[in-house]
Amino acid sequence: MANEVDVADVNPRPLPLVMAPPKGRGKPPRHLADLSAEERKAAAEELGLPAFRVKQVAHHYFARLERDPEAMTDLPAKDRDAIVGALLPPLLSKVRMLQADGGTTRKTLWRLFDGSLVESVLMRYPDRATVCVSSQAGCGMACPFCATGQGGLQRNMSTAEIIDQVVDAAHQMASGQVPGGPGRLSNVVFMGMGEPMANYKAMIGAVRRMVAPAPDGLGLSARNITVSTVGLVPRMRQLATERIPVTLALSLHAPDDELRNELVPINTRFSVAETVEAAWEYARTTKRRVSIEYAMMRDINDQAWRADLLGDVLNSYGDWGWVHVNLIPLNPTPGSKWTASRREDEREFVRRLEAKGIPTTVRDTRGSDIDGACGQLAAVE
Ligand code: SAH
């Protein structure tokens, strides 16, 4: 059951009104999380602060997950607000928070400084806690089954706007707000709003902050970070050269160009063959198993012959375990002509892939009662 939390309870620092220029214009304020270790030194000089002050603030933010100046008692009281205001300007303002699955699935709708709306979802499991983050306000990829795709792109998010979603989720876990007692955020997936590869610089900056040990970053394991993409081939190749072995997820949704051109329009630029080859190259270079995302749509892409074709396409790059398939039951968007597959078709699809030696999982549908998937909450707003 979904239930709503009073925003006043969860939003101790609402954004000041002066920070609301028209939607989509201007840049979000610069934030500590936008800066590399070297850039922090320059920022300290610029602000006339000794370097150790910036380090103290970084420790509060990345290690203690603290954003409230009042709690930073090791900073001189008279300068505290100014220091924190310059380094940790508020970026995300909580609009709504919805819970499902007994409070272990928690979706937040955020307003950015310019009025844009984005979402993130925290999901706690027995063995891990995952936050699904947005990387753009809106999305320009126009996949017709995806709620975010319908509204177009508003703008790229900054590195710090991405990181702040992770810090908020880590704070929810650490502070014991999530049923199950205090815990640690372990996983991040770029499966919220936006195409992370179309905002590459901010995305990779955020990944760097996630994997850097505290106080330079959040100290997450690269293998627990998943970058999900429609398949921007040059960016997939670039990601393979970063020497940060994050998990790559490719949203394939169809094994043939004819159907994929319709479901994932960027396919008219990069074909199934080129896209799958880039995914395979990623697996070969990084030794990380790639995940193929496949949203199951009734009588559209769920036929047994397409399962066979998908298996053959993937196996044409070898069967050394470079890939697995993650089937996602379609979460129909309002007014969509597509709906989720029948159970028996889903089972047959899994059976055929497994018969070809492809490890296959069906994603659980957490939070579907709170519009858990894909821009639906922002679309309602
Ligand atoms: N732009 C990136 C990441 C965001 S979407 C990408 O496309 O990979 C994360 C995943 O959710 C993608 O696999 C996307 O295709 C899928 N998705 C989008 N809308 C959906 C829907 N209505 N039901 C099920 N999955 C959906």
**Is the model's pLDDT at 365 over the cut of 90?**
no
**Beta carbon of 331 within 6 Å of any ligand 1 atom:** yes
| Distance in Å, CA 191 to ligand 1 centroid | 7
- In this structure, are residues 378 and 372 in contact, taking their beta carbons and an 8 Å threshold? no
Q: Are strands 105-111 and 93-100 parallel, antiparallel or unpaired?
A: antiparallel
DSSP assignment of 344-380 equals: HHHHHHHHHHHHTT--EEE---TTGGGT-STTHHHHH
Closest atom of ligand 1 to CA, residue 375: 19
Give the count of beta carbons closer than 10 Å to the beta carbon of residue 123.
23
pLDDT band at 364 (very low <50, low <70, confident <90, very high): confident
- What pLDDT score does 372 carry? 55
Which run of H or E residues covers position 237? helix 233-240
Higher local confidence (pLDDT), 18 or 37: 37
**Beta carbon of 118 within 6 Å of any ligand 1 atom:** no
DSSP category for residue 340: B
Residue with tokens 């420790």: 59
- In this structure, are residues 31 and 128 in contact, taking their beta carbons and an 8 Å threshold? no
User: Quick one: which of 43, 48, 27 has its CA closest to 87?
Assistant: 43
**Beta carbon of 291 within 6 Å of any ligand 1 atom:** no
Closest atom of ligand 1 to CA, residue 329: 24
The residue nearest atom 3 of ligand 1, judged by CA position, is 191
- What pLDDT score does 336 carry? 81
Mutate which of 123, 262, 293, 364 for ligand 1 pocket (most atoms within 8 A of beta carbon): 293
**Model-wide pTM > 0.85:** yes
3-state secondary structure of 3: strand
| Distance in Å, CA 243 to ligand 1 centroid | 26
b/e for 300-326, b at 16 or more Cβ within 10 A? Answer: bbbeeebbbbbbebbeebeeeebbebb
Closest atom of ligand 1 to CA, residue 333: 22
The residue nearest atom 13 of ligand 1, judged by CA position, is 251
**Beta carbon of 328 within 6 Å of any ligand 1 atom:** yes
| Distance in Å, CA 362 to ligand 1 centroid | 14
Q: What angle do CA 100, 105, 110 make, to 5 degrees?
A: 100
| Distance in Å, CA 86 to ligand 1 centroid | 36
DSSP category for residue 231: -
| Distance in Å, CA 252 to ligand 1 centroid | 10
Is-catalytic flag, 146? no
**Beta carbon of 191 within 6 Å of any ligand 1 atom:** yes
**Is the model's pLDDT at 97 over the cut of 80?**
yes
Q: How far apart are CA 309 and CA 314, in angstroms?
A: 9
pLDDT band at 375 (very low <50, low <70, confident <90, very high): very low
3-state secondary structure of 117: strand
pLDDT tens digit string along 29-54?
999 999 988 899 999 999 899 999 99
| Distance in Å, CA 30 to ligand 1 centroid | 29
pLDDT band at 369 (very low <50, low <70, confident <90, very high): low
**Beta carbon of 350 within 6 Å of any ligand 1 atom:** no
Q: What residues does each domain of the chain span?
A: 33-87, 93-380
Closest atom of ligand 1 to CA, residue 190: 3
- What pLDDT score does 3 carry? 47
- What pLDDT score does 24 carry? 47
Q: Which CATH architecture has domain 93-380?
A: Alpha-Beta Barrel (3.20)
pLDDT band at 247 (very low <50, low <70, confident <90, very high): very high
Is-catalytic flag, 38? no
Percent of the chain with pLDDT over 90: 82
Q: How far is residue 66 CA from its own chain's centroid?
A: 21
* Residues found in the chain: 381
Q: Does 1.10.150 match the CATH number of domain 33-87?
A: yes
Q: How far apart are CA 140 and CA 143, in angstroms?
A: 9
